[in-house]
Amino acid sequence: MTISALVFYLFACITVGSAVMVISSRNPVHSVLFLILAFFNSAGLFLLLGAEFLSMILVIVYVGAVAVLFLFVVMMLDVNFTELRQGFLQYLPVGGLIGLILLVELLLVLGSWTVIPDAATFAAARAPDIAAVSNTDAIGRIMYTQYLLPFQTAGAILLVAMIGAIVLTLRHRPGVKRQVISAQVSRTMKTAVEVKKVQPGQGI
Amino acid sequence: MTSTFSADIALILPELILAVGALALLLVGAYRGEGSSRLVGLGGMAVILVALFFTACAGTGETAHGFNDMVVVDGFGRFMKVLVLIGALVAIPMSVDFLKRAGADRFEFPVLILLATAGMMLMVSANDLITLYVGLELQSLSLYVLAAFLRDDARSTEAGLKYFVLGALSSGMLLYGCSLIYGFSGTTNFSDLAKGIATLGEHGAGIGLVVGIVFLVAGLAFKVSAVPFHMWTPDVYEGSPTPVTAFFAAAPKVAAMALFLRALTTPFGEIVAQWQQIIIFVSIASMLLGAFAAIGQTNMKRLLAYSSIGHVGYALVGLAAGGEQGIRGVLVYMAIYMVMTLGTFGVLLVMRKDGKPVESIADFAGLGRTHPWLAFVMAAFMFSLAGIPPLAGFFAKFYVFISAIEHGLYTLSVIGMLSSVVSAFYYLRVVKVMYFDAPEGQLETPFPLASRVVVTVTGAVTVLYFIVPGPLVAIAGAAAKTLVR
């Protein structure tokens, strides 16, 4: 018991610490690397909770794909991040004040909460019985059966994002060499290969 | 609650037709390449017509829930869906001529309209906060792209970017509200929410839930462009290509209003007292801003943007009144408003001077002498938007205000009437410019056919509505009955 508590605090502290480093480090590449560290430790937290599928997915998708993509983007784009941060100190007082007011308001809300009596029943009704199925199975049932429609609609939203990106940015430039498969296939030996007689001892 | 998968599919058949049709047309466009926009446009209209047929005619006409209660199909949804589909159906042909002249007649335009419409249909029949959100995002994302469709035009890209950034902010607020509601009730489902709240009693909702509702209303108010979340409207309406603006003012507004009505009346119908005052405030603020801010405008599209803010305020009067009669008022209002606004934008779309689309009010000068019919129809739209009898706009206002008065909301009604009088000033100014100012320059003829047809039909409906006002009100009444039980 104490070991799992210790491991939890280890993972949690490193996650929070690296999250702070993500937004505070000067070098954007370091930020991405700290982000990867944060992902790894959150995966550990999921593992502690018994959600092994989510934890593995977090490592595979977020560390394996998303963070590496970030890294590529950060390295490829020459963005001057210090310039982007210039207004930060200037806006800090106002932003901090608004944040503080919101925080106080939220505390007031939480201070006098009343939850609907049936809340636990409602929440449990939608999820499969976790004792009967493995958690991968449970996620599958929730995503592909219970919430099939929003899941598919989310796919449609991604399609719209793709169409939008193409509509707004794709330009057909003239003079770009493209692959023309029919032209490639219809080439004959005559047009493709030139046979030259080379005399020994002489160049072409 | 146990429904078979095929029954679920049958329930969202119109949405599926739109989505699958959009995919098929996307493939057609991608294979045929440039110059297939005409074919895809016609295909898009055909798809919408089929969806319209299935929405209006298929099904038993009874309320049905599907996909584990994620969606609901009822008379109210059917009414709003028909309006949305008509708005989308009109948007495609109206855009053809404009986009061709702007050099942007690309096949993605009808595809995006179809996908946006699918999102709106999903919004209308959402019975769960999750369905509500994904439908809303499907719609909004398509609209952001449409707003920036003239990508080489600085104003259009600016409109798209502004709409996107502010839309993302409003989505954030909406989601925050949803998460609070979920946190305090344990469910995102409208039916469950209604059941759970019913156990709490009239004033026992608790601050947490009410804060959630406030954030939800803020997000939705942004989507219908109600004050104080209206800032984006004039800029986006002005910058977007005119046919896109026409579409914005018609279909998405109807869908968002439907969402507004359902999201407040179905789950939170028991605690009307908690949100009614918010709606009353939003309604009054929208009506007043719509009336006063439009006075100084010289650009017709900006004027119509402020006018649409005002009209949303009038429609919300019906929601504030609540009950079957109030909802019926909103339904009638949205139907008539859509006809009027499509017609007005149709007039804008037929007018071109010196190779450029007409946008400023000064360009309407002397229209009464040069094109008497067009001027007459435009004058009819303006009088109707101002709410002067016997035109259709009068009946729209009549039904919402009568419901407000019967529910004892006298202050709201009086402010509404007064702001209606103020707003008549700028509508009448357009009429004055058309009939009493000297004409300048020549309009390009012949007018594009599609917009001419739209103007003629909507004009006829606006002018002649008073002869048979009964059917629309009866249908809207039956639809409202299914929402308020």
Q: Which of B293, B282, B170 is nearest to B226 (CA)?
A: B282
Residues of chain A positioned with their CB less than 8 A from the CB of B201: none
Is the omega angle on the peptide bond into residue B390 within 30 degrees of 0, that is, cis? yes
Q: Which of A199, A150, A121, A118 is nearest to B69 (CA)?
A: A150
Q: Is residue A176 part of a domain?
A: no
Q: Among A108, A160, A162, A178, which would you mutate to test the B interface (most chain B Cβ atoms within 10 Å of its Cβ)?
A: A160
Element (H, E) at B434: helix B410-436
If phi over 0 gives left and psi between -120 and 50 gives alpha, with beta otherwise, what is residue B67?
A: left
Q: Which of A192, A174, A176 is nearest to A184 (CA)?
A: A192
Q: Distances from the Cα of B170 to the Cαs of B213, B221, B347, in angstroms?
A: 14, 9, 32
Please tell me if residue A153 touches chain B, with a CB cutoff of 8 Å.
Answer: yes
Please report the sign of the dihedral spanned by the C-alpha atoms of residue B278, residue B411, residue B285, residue B383: positive
Residues 113-142 on A with a CB inside 8 Å of B are 113-123, 125-126
| A69 and A140 within one domain | no
Helix (H, G, I), strand (E, B), or coil: what is residue A72?
A: helix
| A77 and A12 within one domain | yes
Helix (H, G, I), strand (E, B), or coil: what is residue B66?
A: strand
pLDDT of A190 higher than 90: no
In sequence order, what are the beta bridge partners of B469? none
In chain B (485 residues long), the average pLDDT of successive 10-residue segments reads: 75 93 94 86 95 83 86 92 95 91 89 96 94 95 95 93 94 93 89 87 73 92 92 94 94 94 90 89 94 92 94 94 91 95 93 86 90 93 92 93 92 93 94 91 84 93 91 90 83
| A105 and A159 within one domain | no
The Cα B84–Cα B250 span in angstroms is: 8
Q: Which of A112, A147, A169 sits opposite B130 (nearest CB)?
A: A147
The reported pLDDT for the residue numbered A203 is: 74
At residue A12's C-alpha, the angle toward residues A9 and A18, to 5°, is 135
Q: Which of B116, B224, B166 is nearest to A153 (CA)?
A: B116
Residues 70-109 on A with a CB inside 8 Å of B are 108-109
Q: Which of B70, B197, B205 sits opposite A150 (nearest CB)?
A: B70
Strands (E), B29-164: 64-66, 71-73
**Two tokens, residue B331:** 């339904």
At residue B183's C-alpha, the angle toward residues B179 and B185, to 5°, is 115
| A6 and A75 within one domain | yes
Name the residue in chain A with its Cα closest to that of B200.
Answer: A116
| A146 and A71 within one domain | no
The reported pLDDT for the residue numbered B59 is: 64
The Cα B154–Cα B57 span in angstroms is: 44
Q: Is residue A124 part of a domain?
A: no
Q: Which of B115, B133, B187 sits opposite A156 (nearest CB)?
A: B115
- State the greatest distance between any 2 C-alpha atoms of chain B, in Å, as a whole number: 69
Q: Is residue A98 part of a domain?
A: yes
A170: DSSP letter: -
Please tell me if residue A167 touches chain B, with a CB cutoff of 8 Å.
Answer: yes
Structural domain harbouring A30: 1-81
| A73 and A99 within one domain | no
* DSSP-assigned letters across all residues of A101-135: HHHHHHHHHHHT----TTHHHHHHHHS--TTTS-H
CB atoms within 10 A of CB B43: 22
Cβ–Cβ of A116/B184 closer than 8 Å? yes
**Two tokens, residue A145:** 């059966």
Q: Is residue A166 part of a domain?
A: yes
Helix (H, G, I), strand (E, B), or coil: what is residue B256?
A: helix
Helix (H, G, I), strand (E, B), or coil: what is residue B105?
A: coil
Residues of chain B positioned with their CB less than 8 A from the CB of A148: 67
Residues of chain B positioned with their CB less than 8 A from the CB of A161: 141
Q: Find where tokens 């299914």 sit.
A: B482
Please report the sign of the dihedral spanned by the C-alpha atoms of residue B195, residue B196, residue B197, residue B198: positive
Answer for the pair B290, B315: CB distance below 8 angstroms, yes or no.
no
* DSSP-assigned letters across all residues of B75-119: HHHHHHHHHHHHHHHHHHHHHHHHHHHTT---THHHHHHHHHHHH
Cβ–Cβ of B145/A110 closer than 8 Å? no
| A57 and A44 within one domain | yes
| A62 and A7 within one domain | yes
Q: What are phi and psi of B440, to 5 degrees?
A: -130, 125
Answer for the pair A67, A36: CB distance below 8 angstroms, yes or no.
yes
The Cα B394–Cα B318 span in angstroms is: 15
| A74 and A1 within one domain | yes
Strands B71-73 and B356-357: unpaired
The Cα B225–Cα A188 span in angstroms is: 64
The Cα B303–Cα B238 span in angstroms is: 9
Is the omega angle on the peptide bond into residue B110 within 30 degrees of 0, that is, cis? no
The reported pLDDT for the residue numbered B124 is: 94
* DSSP-assigned letters across all residues of B306-369: HHHHHHHHHHHHHHHH-HHHHHHHHHHHHHHHHHHHHHHHHHHHH-EETTEE--BGGGGTTHHH
Residues of chain B positioned with their CB less than 8 A from the CB of A164: 112, 141-142, 144-145
Domain count, chain A: 3
The Cα B308–Cα B315 span in angstroms is: 10
Q: Find where tokens 């996650």 sit.
A: A15
What's the CA dihedral at B265, B190, B130, B7 to 10 degrees?
-110
Q: Is residue A127 part of a domain?
A: no
Q: Which of B118, B160, B207 sits opposite A156 (nearest CB)?
A: B118
The Cα B230–Cα B290 span in angstroms is: 10
Name the residue in chain B with its Cα closest to that of A118.
Answer: B196
Q: What are phi and psi of B111, to 5 degrees?
A: -65, -45
Helix (H, G, I), strand (E, B), or coil: what is residue B62?
A: coil
Answer for the pair B116, B139: CB distance below 8 angstroms, yes or no.
yes
**Two tokens, residue A55:** 């934890």
| A101 and A71 within one domain | no
> Residue A38 is part of a domain; what is its CATH number?
1.20.120.1200
In sequence order, what are the beta bridge partners of B71? B66, B126
| A90 and A75 within one domain | no
Q: Quick one: how many helices (H) and strands (E) in chain B?
A: 20, 4
Q: Is residue A158 part of a domain?
A: yes
Residue B276 CA, chain-centre distance (Å), reads 22
Measure in Å the smallest separation between the Cα of B97 and chain A Cα atoms.
19
Interchain CB contacts (distance < 8 Å): A and B: 124
Cβ–Cβ of B26/A154 closer than 8 Å? no
Buried b (16+ CB within 10 A) or exposed e, A95-117: eeeeeeeeeeeeeebeeeeebbe
Sketch the domain layout of chain B as residue ranges. Answer: 271-484
Q: Is residue A57 part of a domain?
A: yes
Q: Is residue A194 part of a domain?
A: no
Residues of chain A positioned with their CB less than 8 A from the CB of B4: none
